Structure 1
Amino acid sequence: MLATPGKLPSAAQDSRWAYETKQDGQRAVVYLPGDGSVLLRARSGEEITGAYPELRPLGEVLGRVPAILDGEVLALDEHGRADFQLLQNRMGLAHAPARAARLAARTPVHLVLFDVLHLDGDPLLRVPYTRRRARLESLALDGPYWSTPGAVVGHGPEALRATREHGLEGLVCKRLDSVYEPGVRSRAWIKIRNMRTEDVIVGGWLPGRGRLTGLPGAVLAGQRSAGGRLRYVGGVGTGWSEAERTELAALLRAAGTDVCPFDPVPAVAGAHWVLPRLVGEVAYSTRTRAGLLRQPSWLRLRPDLTPEESAADLPRDVG
């Protein structure tokens, strides 16, 4: 079951919803047959058990009680926050057990469990969220590499504010009477992603395809490092209306140059470079360790700012 992007429920509806922390990881359905084994499947259906050998002991925790659980595999940074870039080093190793074991010793994952779909012979898909949640919590699944984080009923604005204050990805709102709908992106689950905003300098663009032929498909954004260099921070391909994209195309053509303004030159195939004089504001979720923006979206041009006035310097550790 998947969540639909949206906003917090209204104050009048707040008490009918539960709120869970959203963290950036790999979704996994966990099968516990009751024979001491465990099997994990990704959203694609691919078996990923071998990528996470530290989770194998979970198969013995419930003894002979079979269960199917829903959760998220995370890699945590030194502050205990999910770091998707760390997790990427672990993903895709289901058929490389030796390497998976080495990385597990160095960067163990943590499985957060938030739903139970089948338990001890009882199918729970048509059971309301509140009862499923109670069954899940009764299992007391808290171990060295897995846990069952709490959910808050009501107090949505406070819950969302807490995720922002702690630098977490966001919030998932779940209607208390909702059943579990496998494979459905449901309005009974709403996800709210905490987004940051910063100014960037446009240094290039990539041509659009299909209905965007002749228009920019993405702009290549940069920010000044402490030394004054324009460092590439990623491509931004969403957030424009058709009219805004057409306006931007004219500005980019007028600013065209054969010289890449980024230092170092990014490895972006098919890039068209422009003089770094356009400033825009973008929203993004977080940064990678290399300083790239994750999930960036264009908000607006900033004609009121020159590149010199843009205050969007890179953090010192990536500059």
Structure 2
Amino acid sequence: MVGLPRIAPMLATPGSLPPAAVEDRWAFEVKQDGQRAMVYLPGDGTVTLRSRSGADITTAYPEFAGLGSVLGRPAVLDGEIVALDSEGRSDFERLQSRMGLTSEAKAARMARLVPAHLVVFDAVHLGGRGLTGLPYTERRTLLEELGLGGKHWSTPAAVVGHGEQALEMTRTAGLEGVIAKRLASVYEPGVRSRSWIKIRHVRTVDVIVGGWVPGRGRLASLPGALLVGEAHEGGLRYVGSVGTGWSDAERTTLAGLLRVAAIDECPFDKAPGVTGARWVLPRLVGEVRYTTRTRAGLLRHPSWHRLRPDLAPDNIT
């Protein structure tokens, strides 16, 4: 990293697709589900990877060592480290086995078992020149001219306009969503910017409430999170903890319903390892939004949507 500036990654803001009337001012890239990484290439053949927090994560990913000799000039690149499933889609659960490794021997062994891939989507410093003040279109051109195509790294495709089609393509392919990037936007280090918008595919599912965890401070008598499950073969399988998505009024309503339904024993087939959990009769049904599921069936990024008083637990088996 000698001579290279430390640059914090620019962050995307959750939102929706830009209006069709102005979508030709935006580019659309596939949203990857992995670990953000700033890549520092001093030009001497070495590579340093830093996470979004700035931590050095180079040791965990030995397969990227060869990137240091590819360019032949200093550079700082922005990208996402992913682990791909059998269909070539980023799989965060697979990547978790690679994250946080500090032993070179273990990292090398895991690289053979679960190879990682670096998706490079921006160039912010190149050949001693800072690029953050350039518009996306110019940075994108410079990035593509680097020709970063290899077994362990690549540059993602980007399409200008056609946002609905791009989003539908990712939905059909089972991908997480898209990132919309304004063509004229500069790179804003460390800023969660409206010039980059992430649009995720959101799924919904009806779940049964089997427990809850109290909130903190003034919310100690109210639910801080609901423990939810899905019915199967006469049992209740735990699928996650939901701690966002409700208004103060909804939280108060839920608190009253939970108090009435209190029981001493866990209703789930296997008790989740949640500290301070309180159990309830599995009779409240709610609708939850989420992005994807883990292979174990747990909901990722769940958010409460609404109570379903029109449904009984035996109606959603």
Q: Tell me which interval the TM-score lies in, with the shorter structure as reference length.
A: over 0.9
1:279 corresponds in structure 2 to 285
Which deviations, in whole Å up to 9, do the C-alpha atoms of 1:96-134 show, x marking residues without a partner? Answer: 111111000110001001000011122100000000000
2:312 corresponds in structure 1 to 306
Equivalent residue in structure 2 for 1:140, among 133, 137, 147: 147
Shift of 1:36: 0.9
The amino acid that maps onto 1:179 is V
Pair 1:96 & 2:103 matched = yes
Using the alignment, how far apart are the partners of 1:96 and 1:150 within structure 2?
34
Matches within 5 A, 1:76-95: 76-93=84-101, 95=102
Shift of 1:292: 0.7
Pair 1:70 & 2:78 matched = yes
Which deviations, in whole Å up to 9, do the C-alpha atoms of 1:263-311 show, x marking residues without a partner? Answer: 0121111100000000101011111111111100011111111100014
2:166 corresponds in structure 1 to 159
2:4 corresponds in structure 1 to none
Shift of 1:212: 2.0
The amino acid that maps onto 2:61 is Y
1:56 corresponds in structure 2 to 65
Q: What SS does the aligned partner of 2:266 have?
A: coil
Which deviations, in whole Å up to 9, do the C-alpha atoms of 1:214-265 show, x marking residues without a partner? Answer: 110000000023x332010010000000000100100010100001100012
1:115 corresponds in structure 2 to 122
Pair 1:39 & 2:48 matched = yes
5+ residue gaps, structure 2:
1-9
Using the alignment, how far apart are the partners of 1:161 and 1:106 within structure 2?
32
Using the alignment, how far apart are the partners of 2:217 and 2:163 within structure 1?
41
The amino acid that maps onto 2:71 is L
Matched residue count: 308
The amino acid that maps onto 2:294 is T
2:271 corresponds in structure 1 to 265
Equivalent residue in structure 2 for 1:241, among 243, 247, 268: 247
1:286–1:96 distance in 2 versus 1, CA, 3 Å = same
Shift of 1:79: 1.6
Shift of 1:169: 0.9
Q: Say which is worse superposed, 176-185 or 77-86, in terms of deviation.
A: 77-86
1:176 corresponds in structure 2 to 183
Using the alignment, how far apart are the partners of 1:75 and 1:299 within structure 2?
31
Q: What SS does the aligned partner of 2:213 have?
A: strand
The amino acid that maps onto 2:262 is G
- Aligned-residue Cα RMSD (Å) equals 0.9
5+ residue gaps, structure 1:
312-319
Matches within 5 A, 1:207-218: 207-218=214-225
TM-score, L = length of structure 1: 0.95
2:16 corresponds in structure 1 to 7
Q: What SS does the aligned partner of 1:308 have?
A: helix
Pair 1:22 & 2:31 matched = yes
1:315 corresponds in structure 2 to none
Using the alignment, how far apart are the partners of 1:269 and 1:104 within structure 2?
34
Pair 1:105 & 2:115 matched = no
The amino acid that maps onto 2:42 is P
Using the alignment, how far apart are the partners of 1:2 and 1:197 within structure 2?
26
Which deviations, in whole Å up to 9, do the C-alpha atoms of 1:138-185 show, x marking residues without a partner? Answer: 111010011101101001111111111111111111000000000000
Using the alignment, how far apart are the partners of 2:62 and 2:284 within structure 1?
48
Shift of 1:210: 2.6
Q: What SS does the aligned partner of 1:218 have?
A: strand
State the percentage of identical aligned residues: 67
2:3 corresponds in structure 1 to none
Equivalent residue in structure 2 for 1:198, among 202, 205, 215: 205
Shift of 1:211: 3.7
Pair 1:231 & 2:237 matched = yes
Using the alignment, how far apart are the partners of 2:250 and 2:285 within structure 1?
14
